[in-house]
Amino acid sequence: MVTPIEQRFIDLHPGSAERHEKARDLFPDGVTHDARRQKPFQLYYTHAEGAAKWDVDGNKILDYFPGHGALMLGHSHPDIVKAVQDQMAKGTHFAGSTEMEIRWGELVRELIPSAEKVRFHSSGTEADMMAIRMARAYTGKNKIIKFEDHFHGWNDYLVAGSEGLGGIPKATLDTMVLLPINDISVVEKALQNDDDIAGIILEPTGAHMGAIPILPSFLQELRDVTERYGVVLIFDEVVTGFRTSKGGAQELYGITPDVTTLAKILGGGLPGGAVCGKADIINMIETTDDPEWNSTRRISHNGTFNANPLSAAAGIKMLELVSTTPVNDTANARAAQLKDGLNDLLSKMEIPGCCNGVASLLFLSMGLDHECDKEICIISPEDRKKATDPARNQQLNLAMQNHGVQASTRFILTAAHTEEDINYTIDAFEKGLTEVREQGLI
């Protein structure tokens, strides 16, 4: 049975409904990214500028999932557009090195504390895959610790503990050790009982961009224990890099990992990824005069679009702006405005829950009375299920799109969001939450 929220969504978006029907014959689930699945159908967009985008039916949508987190400056920033256009006229691929890749790498090293050397990729998945391979090659050990619910792309190893494991050999998954977060005793016990662990990888603000937070004290404990046991510590800063601070979560918390993975903001809105860190670890890619080393220890690494000129042009301009302008401060200020506004709204509407998050990444949890500092919200897994009810959130997601906002329980802020955008969003949430409440879901 179609709900009133769903019916309004269908009425407002006939063009997207038509395109979804065509896409179902072309793509699994009718989409090209799992995160874009949406019932009754996903929206199709035509153009975007600043903090907003427009769908095929002409509806303006304020965007709180900009480029899956890649667009720190918002959509179509004029400086990045010009940089890419200028490079397009010069050439898109030379099958060789360019001076731009040097400048891009220099900016990474200037901003990211752990970056002694850098290797570029085309995505975060590739970067994470390379990082764990480097840890294995460097230590001569086989296993990697990851934490429950942490997302590191879709490669065969790092999806361990997730859904969608079809086609992955059990032997591959057996090289991964899955542990709970925020308990260093569990980590140390695993290291004591298994001398074949090469590295530990994690999202440094917590699983799913920080939706399930990590205590900063746990990061320091990880740094200490990995140094004691000679284990490579990897921060997956694909999302947090250049966002939680100019130097990522490692700069924010003052904890330097051995290896860092980057993507999203790194590429300025174009495909780009990187692994950076201690020179002797990154140099596992480097050739030597020893044929045996080159054959059995060295990591070979190709990639047609590694550091390609268009991504380099966009990435350089993005990182220059991050480095020299108050990009982070602006996004963080808008995030603080939204966080305060939504928490006030929950109180006004007598809805238990909170809006929480670090820097410009925010999360909305409802249906649960609890105490937290609205930054790092630690609740039990059982309580988290109550606070993230899928039926309620699915209706809220559609209701918000009906009111011109792409957001329901996760918000990624940019420097392009304005105070007026935030005020509009809070008003839209009051309407959306009222509609969801009328369906008996709140």
Domain boundaries, the chain: 4-75+327-438, 78-324
Give residue-wise pLDDT tens across range 368-394. Answer: 888 888 899 988 888 888 888 889 999
pLDDT for residue 368: 86
Sign of CA dihedral 301, 304, 309, 310: negative
Distance (Å) of CA 37 to CA 31, 34, 44, 58, 181: 6, 6, 12, 21, 29
> What values do phi and psi take at 270, rounded to 5?
-110, 165
Residue 243 has what DSSP assignment? Answer: T
Give residue-wise pLDDT tens across range 225-238. Answer: 999 999 999 999 99
For residue 437, the Cα-to-chain-centroid distance in whole angstroms is 30
What gap in Å lies between CA 310 and CA 90, rounded to an integer? Answer: 10
Domain 4-75+327-438 fold is Aspartate Aminotransferase, domain 1 (3.90.1150)
* Peptide bond between residue 40 and the one before it cis (omega within 30 degrees of 0): yes
Domain 78-324 fold is Aspartate Aminotransferase; domain 2 (3.40.640)
- What rounded mean pLDDT belongs to the chain? 96
Helices (H), 174-288: 184-193, 207-210, 216-229, 248-253, 279-282
Rg (the chain; Cα; Å): 22
pTM for the model: 0.96
Order across the sheet with 410-412: list the strands: 353-358, 361-366, 410-412
Among 28-32, 110-114, 228-232, name the one with the lowest average pLDDT: 28-32
Single-letter amino acid, residue 109: R
pLDDT for residue 23: 96
Angle between helices 390-402 and 419-438 (to 10 degrees): 130
pLDDT for residue 441: 87
Give residue-wise pLDDT tens across range 117-140. Answer: 999 999 999 999 999 999 999 999
What gap in Å lies between CA 235 and CA 226, rounded to an integer? Answer: 13
On whether the CB atoms of residues 80 and 425 are closer than 8 A, the answer is no
Tell me: pLDDT of 311 over 90. yes
Single-letter amino acid, residue 256: T
Domains 4-75+327-438 and 78-324 share a fold: no
Residue 276 pairs with which residues in a beta bridge? 118, 260
pLDDT band of 241, cuts 50, 70, 90 = very high
